[in-house]
Amino acid sequence: MSSKRSTKEPSGIDRDLTSYGDMEFSRYMRRAFLASAGYDAADLDRPVVGIVDTSSDYNTCHRQMPELVTAVKRGVLQAGGLPFAFASSSWNEILTSPTTMLYRNLLAMETEELVRAQPMDAVVMLGGCDKTVPAQLMAAASADVPTVMVVTGPMRTGSWRGERLGACTDCRRYWAEFRAGRMDEAEIREVESSLCATAGTCAVMGTASTMACLCEALGLMLPGGAGPPAGSAERLRHAVASGRRAVALAGECLRPSDILVPAAFRNAIRVLAALGGSTNAIVHLAAIAGRAGYRLTLDEVDEIAAGVPVLVDCKPAGSGYLEDFDRAGGMPVLMGELEQLLEPEPRTVGGKTIGEILESAPERGAWQQTIRAMNDPLAAAGGLRVLRGSLAPDGAVIKVAAASADLLAHRGPAVVFESPEHVATAIDDPQLAITPEHVLVLRNAGPVAAGMPEAGALPIPSYLAAKGVKDMVRVSDARMSGTAYGTIVLHCAPEAAVGGPLALVKDGDTIELDVGKRRLELLVEDGELAARRAEWTPPELPKRGWRRLYAEHVMQANEGADLDFLAERDD
Ligand code: FES
């Protein structure tokens, strides 16, 4: 158990007093001001449960969060606690420029300090959209106050002309059709109004859903909390139960440091592989592990993932949606199917160990095919791979489960784009004469250069798309959306902006991808590379503010892209 706070410390509203140099005065002042909000001793002698509320008009995925806050409060009150909801910032993938990843660490730092500085015996963190949950998990690991995670839940699917569809794998598929000239303006506008049918996070196994599932795998969410759709009765019941559980957790003093042990992260990697989940989760897990004092390496990720088949048939690796996953039993059924691979010892926020949860895991229903059996997987083990080589000495990742089998061993000439903006303006230029054999290279999109946007899934040039080309090898120091697909090598480390080999690639250089051998090579003579390096100059950093602080302190993707001064616990 953590030594950060003992049970003998002041609790409830009396903990973490404001510093006036007179503790009794601080207590008296606190109660006086709380009296102004209608609280009396019957309220103020209860355990306090903070509730982090990330609702925002800018975050459509969190649209129904106020209802969830109310539900959590109901659970806290039922169990004899005193709920205090408080707002933190909230970053929506689609409405944040240039990328939410630039703000994940800011939200993590903000949440940690809000939890640390305000009196609470436990906290329920309400997140959902891609970066909110990782940031909250990082904050939970650092603040080390008993924590229960709750998410908004995924969207339900919509339909267009009889076809079922949901954000955002279908967003990309239809956009590619539009770019290829196979859909007209009126049709893409119709699709646009059907893709996001309800409140909630993206309807496929993108980053938000992956991270929600990993909350359960890590043990920081009550079982069954990842899957229920936003707005469903089950989602509300889960929120109420989480509020109740938070009160008990405060008494038990079960902290994230008791739960986020190395075996919990190894289990999370196994679940990630079985989900066919988002490559972004690798970066987030490394960052969360770093906060918990554990160095999760890419080699460890590769080794663990290599032994786990893809079991979940959800887009983008498969064909279903999160509502199918939930109907099939969600994480409790998946973890039951993975029982032989999971380490049973880690404790969980519900009070049981993973092993105890698995003892009562529901049977996988033979009536469904969304969660496949171990002996009938959707795809063989190795759905996520780590690559190394002269183009990525510190590693890169590829989601094999969402790639084209015929491109996994490929050699081709590079076409280099200097930034995501350069891609946007030049990719369709016929003068580049790009062929399907080319390797599209994007640089200066890593953590230091650009906050690591989801720009790694470069579009297929429209003149090739019109001829039916659907996939090409793409290589970058960027990330890609968890909803994207293709033969896309991401997170090349070190990134170009700090002098990684990606900075030295020139148009026409030969690049070799060999996923079987886990290699990514730039086939250029050492002497030539040395000459290019001598001429290379690093890009200018942003001049001021958060972006300056971020660029000066962010670590590389293989280390989780956390800020270096936040990565270690301060106890
Ligand atoms: Fe919020 Fe996809 S945009 S989860």
pLDDT at 2: 41
Three-class SS state of 41: helix
pLDDT tens digits along 428-453: 999 999 999 999 999 999 999 999 99
- Res 285: pLDDT: 98
Ligand 1 center from residue 288 Cα (angstroms): 20
Q: Going by C-beta distance under 8 Å and a sequence separation of 6 or more, which residues neighbour residue 83?
A: 48, 49, 51, 72, 73, 76, 77, 243
**Residue 73: DSSP 8-state:** H
H or E element: which one contains 69? helix 65-78
Ligand 1 pocket: which of 61, 107, 157 to mutate (most atoms within 8 A of CB): 61
- Tokens at 232, concatenated: 């469903």
The tokens describing 145, both together, are 């106050």
Residue nearest to atom 3 of ligand 1 (CA): 93
Cis, peptide link before residue 98, omega less than 30° from 0: yes
Residue nearest to atom 1 of ligand 1 (CA): 129
- 531-546 per-position pLDDT tens digit: 999 999 999 999 999 9
Cβ neighbours of residue 120 closer than 8 Å, sequence gap 6 or more: 15, 48, 49, 50, 84, 145
By the 8 A CB rule, do 19 and 92 touch? no
- pLDDT at residue number 8: 62
The single residue listed with the structure tokens 């949606």 is 321
Q: Residue 61: what residue type? A: C
Q: How confident is the model at residue 168 (pLDDT cuts 50, 70, 90)?
A: confident
| Closest of 333, 380, 330, 399 to residue 154, by C-alpha | 330
Q: What number does the ligand 1 atom closest to the CA of 483 have?
A: 2
Residue 7 has pLDDT above 90, yes or no: no
pLDDT at 265: 98
Q: What is the pLDDT of residues 452-483, one digit of tens each?
A: 999 999 999 999 999 999 999 999 999 999 88
Average pLDDT, the chain: 95
Residue 567 pLDDT grade (very low, low, confident, very high; cuts 50, 70, 90): confident
Q: How far is the CA of 514 from the centre of ligand 1 (A)?
A: 32
Cα–Cα distances in angstroms (integers) from residue 526 to residues 120, 411, 415, 426, 522, in the given order:
58, 19, 20, 30, 10
Mean pLDDT of 382-405: 95
Q: Kind and range of the H or E element at 53?
A: strand 48-53
Token code pair at residue 295: 């160095």
**Per-residue confidence band for 10, with pLDDT thresholds at 50, 70 and 90:** confident
Instruction: Give the residue, out of 57, 65, 93, with the most ligand 1 atoms within 8 A of its beta carbon, to mutate for a pocket test.
Output: 93
Q: Where are the alpha helices (DSSP H) in 118-222?
A: 132-143, 169-179, 185-192, 207-218
Question: Given a cut of 80, is residue 295 above it in pLDDT?
Answer: yes
Q: Of 202, 211, 278, which is best to mutate to test ligand 1, by the most ligand atoms within 8 angstroms of its C-beta?
A: 202
pLDDT tens profile 228-286 = 999 999 999 999 999 999 999 999 989 999 999 999 999 999 999 999 999 999 999 99
Query: Above 60 in pLDDT, residue 6?
Result: no
pLDDT in tens, 82-136: 999 999 999 999 999 999 999 999 999 999 999 999 999 999 999 999 999 999 9
315, pLDDT greater than 80: yes
- How close is the Cα of 483 to the center of ligand 1, in Å? 10
* pLDDT in the model for residue 324: 98
Ligand 1 centroid to residue 312 C-alpha, Å: 20
- DSSP run (H or E) holding 511: strand 510-514
Q: Transcribe 227-248 into DSSP letters.
A: SSPTT-HHHHHHHHHHHHHHHH
On the question of pLDDT at 571 being above 70, the answer is no
* Domains recognised in the chain with CATH numbers: 1-45 (no CATH), 46-156+198-359 (no CATH), 158-192 (no CATH), 384-539 (3.50.30.80)
Mean pLDDT of 342-359: 98
Q: Distance between CA 506 and CA 129 in Å, rounded?
A: 37
Q: Is 41 exposed, middle or buried (0-12, 13-18, 19+ CB in 10 A)?
A: exposed
pLDDT-above-90 percentage for the chain: 95
* pLDDT score at 382: 87
Per-residue pLDDT at 301: 97
Ligand 1 nearest-atom number relative to CA 208: 4
Taking Cα atoms as reference points, which of 414, 461, 464, 423 lies closest to residue 441?
Answer: 414
